[in-house]
Structure 1
Amino acid sequence: MQQYLLLFLILLSSVFCFSQEEEGRVKGVVVDASNDNPLESVNIVNLNKVIGTSTNSNGAFEISAKVNDTLHFSYLGFKSIKVRVTNDWLKYGDGTTTTIKLTELALALEEVVVNQLKLTGYLEVDIKQVPAINTNYRYSISGLPSTGYEAGRQSTINKVLGSIFNPADFLHRMFGKKPNELRKLKKMKEDDEIRNLLASRFDREMLTVLLQVDKIDLDEIVSQCNYSKGFIQTANDLQILDAISECYEEYKVLNRDREGKL
């Protein structure tokens, strides 16, 4: 019996040592694929650990990772890519031997049509020509004290109760089988680098990558939380993250109360 116990302890220590060896920091340089010039302020996020960093003026970066972690590289005007961390990179990469190349995107401007208002002098006719006013009743800048993004028409309880008693239970439907993605919500809010990154973006790319949902589902989640279409269209990625996180926390509290009464 003691022999088996000793063997188990040896195996356990070997596994622990091996896992410790896997953990480390990877280094590299990000450059423009067209001319090999270094790119400054490229955003790098470890999708497994949910931590982020960015390149310096020389295009260099360093981030905590382990073997098989996936790093997501994104930069305005360039195609985002994912890179898997290998054992060789982790052990032998010195920051100069590993080069990540990003390809510039072709920019296409959409045609914008400006319609001039033609007033008739009749109020009932003219008022119909005036564009609809954004009716967001809730607003804030993420990071500053506030009561939320869209206050006014509904109380918080009514807002979330409507979601809880939705037969689909939208949050459970979207994330019920993805507990890791729910845990990522908290990690994303705690990492300053990721928060700063999301605050500067409006494309939802990083949110969809980290939460493993597509943009349509992401918009549906925020919509089901009774945030307005105007908010969804104008909010930055950090505000969308905070909206989802707030709604989910309220959902958990009210759902727990509901189950306690059953």
Structure 2
Amino acid sequence: MQKNLLLLFIFFNFFGFSQEDEKSKENREFKAVVVNAQTDDTMESVHVVNLNQVIGTITNKKGEFAITAAVNDTLYFSFLGYKSQKIRVTNDMFKFEDTKISLTELAYALEEVIVRPYQLTGYLEIDVKNLPINNAYQYSISGLSVGYEAGNKNPSAVTKVLGAILNPADLLRNLFGKKPAQMRKLRQVKEDDEIRNLLASKFDRETLVELLQLEKMDIEDILNNCSYSKSFIKTANDLQILDAISGCYEDYKVLNRDKRGK
């Protein structure tokens, strides 16, 4: 009898955990309020993007918003003059209706900079040894208009230079072919009006980087090899950059298909 009761207890607990797990994967309406981290005032017109499902919305006059989400989705918050914020959705956020998301003004978010002046002695041999070494090397190839940074911050520079020796289609194949999931998001991003409105107002590429999971350097490489001018790359808003990448990707797919057909 006790054994049967134990089995029933285990079964119902397992069944309950299974239901809870399935529920956590469901899309539900997530509601919260966005506030200023310093003043606790509510913030209107903050852009909220679900990076997993590629949908967006904005906060109302009371700082409130509602967006479709599931547990473990990542929400991206963006507002001019404030530090962008990423939040992972949890079960508790659905259970409690008073969730607040705080954004910090950039004036407060700037990290402290320590200035260390060079300690010069006046003796050339000693001062030369004390000066910091600049590791921001650049690789360049005659005939190519693009230079590639190297050093500790960019260990893949040599690979990019070698890739540039090949024809541009080969470099694009390396960029597009290795990121199929990111490229599939292009169409989703273009279809959401709120995300398009957000991108049209931004020029920093930060939201594009988060949405497409591309590095800023990758974005520049794609546009360079699709014959976009440096002026366009520097001055275009994020929506124009998105459309340019999308057009370039469509051309690449056609060329790649033709090459396979030969």
Residue 257 of structure 1: how far off its partner (Å): 1.3
| Structure 2, unaligned runs of 5 or more | 1-14, 111-163
- Indicate conservation of the 8 Å contact 1:22/1:87, yes or no: no
Does 2:54 correspond to 1:53?
Answer: no
Q: Distance in 2 between matches of 1:29 and 1:202?
A: 26
1:230 counterpart SS class: helix
Contact between 1:70 and 1:83, CA under 8 Å: does it hold in 2? yes
User: Residue 75 of structure 1 aligns with which residue?
Assistant: 79
Q: How many residues align?
A: 191
| SS across alignment from 2:34 | strand
Contact 1:72-1:83 at 8 Å conserved across structures: yes
Residue 139 of structure 1 corresponds to none
Is residue 27–residue 93 contact of structure 1 (8 Å, CA) maintained in 2? no
One-letter identity of the residue aligned with 1:22: E
SS at match of 2:40: coil
- The percentage of aligned residue pairs carrying the same residue is 60
8 Å CA contact 1:28–1:93 kept in 2: the answer is no
Aligned mates of 1:241, 1:31 — CA distance in 2: 29
| Alpha-carbon displacement from aligned partner over 1:22-68 (angstroms, at most 9, x marks no partner) | 32011100000110011111111000001111101110011000010
The one of 26, 32, 53 aligned to 2:30? 26
Partner of 1:116: none
In structure 2, how many angstroms separate the alpha carbons of the residues matched to 1:233 and 1:37? Answer: 35
Task: Give the Å deviation of 1:253.
Answer: 1.0
Instruction: Work out the CA distance in 2 between the residues paired with 1:166 and 1:62.
Output: 47
Match in the other structure for 1:93: 96
Q: Deviations over 1:223-256 (max 9, x none)?
A: 1111000111111100000000001101111211
- Asked whether 1:257 is paired with 2:262, we answer no
Q: Give runs of aligned pairs for residues 129-140 of structure 1, distance below 5 A.
A: none
8 A Cα contact 1:199 1:236, kept in partner: yes
Q: What SS class does the counterpart of residue 58 from structure 1 fall into?
A: coil
Say which SS state the counterpart of residue 71 (structure 1) adopts: strand
Match of 1:113 in 2: none
Matching residue within 43, 46, 58 for 1:42: 46
- Contact kept, 8 Å, 1:181 with 1:212, in 2: the verdict is yes
- 1:15 shift after superposition: 7.5
Give the Cα separation in 1 of the matches to 2:25 and 2:209. Answer: 31
Deviations 1:189-228 (A, max 9, x none): 0111111110111111100111112212211111111100
Q: Which amino acid aligns with 1:257?
A: D
Residue 153 (structure 2) aligns with: none
Q: TM-score, with normalisation over the residues of structure 1?
A: 0.68
SS at match of 1:64: strand
* Separation of aligned partners in 1, 2:39 and 2:193: 32
Cα deviation per residue 1:152-175 (whole Å; 9 max; x = unaligned)? xxxxxxxxxxx9x72772333223
State whether structure 2 residue 171 is matched by structure 1 residue 170.
yes
Distance between the aligned counterparts of 1:211 and 1:244, measured in 2? 11
1:150 alignment partner in structure 2: none
Counterparts of 2:93 and 2:20 in 1: how far apart (Å)? Answer: 21
**What is residue 156 of structure 1 aligned with on the other side?**
none
- SS of alignment partner, residue 106 of structure 2: coil
2:145 corresponding residue in structure 1: none
Instruction: Report the residue type matching 1:69 in the other structure.
Output: D
SS at match of 1:181: helix
State whether structure 2 residue 247 is matched by structure 1 residue 246. Answer: yes
User: What letter corresponds to residue 45 of structure 1 in structure 2?
Assistant: V
Greater relative contact order structure (CA < 8 Å, 6+ sep): 1
Q: Quick one: structure 1 residues 238 and 30, their matched pair in 2 at CA, closer, same or farther if it must change by over 3 Å?
A: same
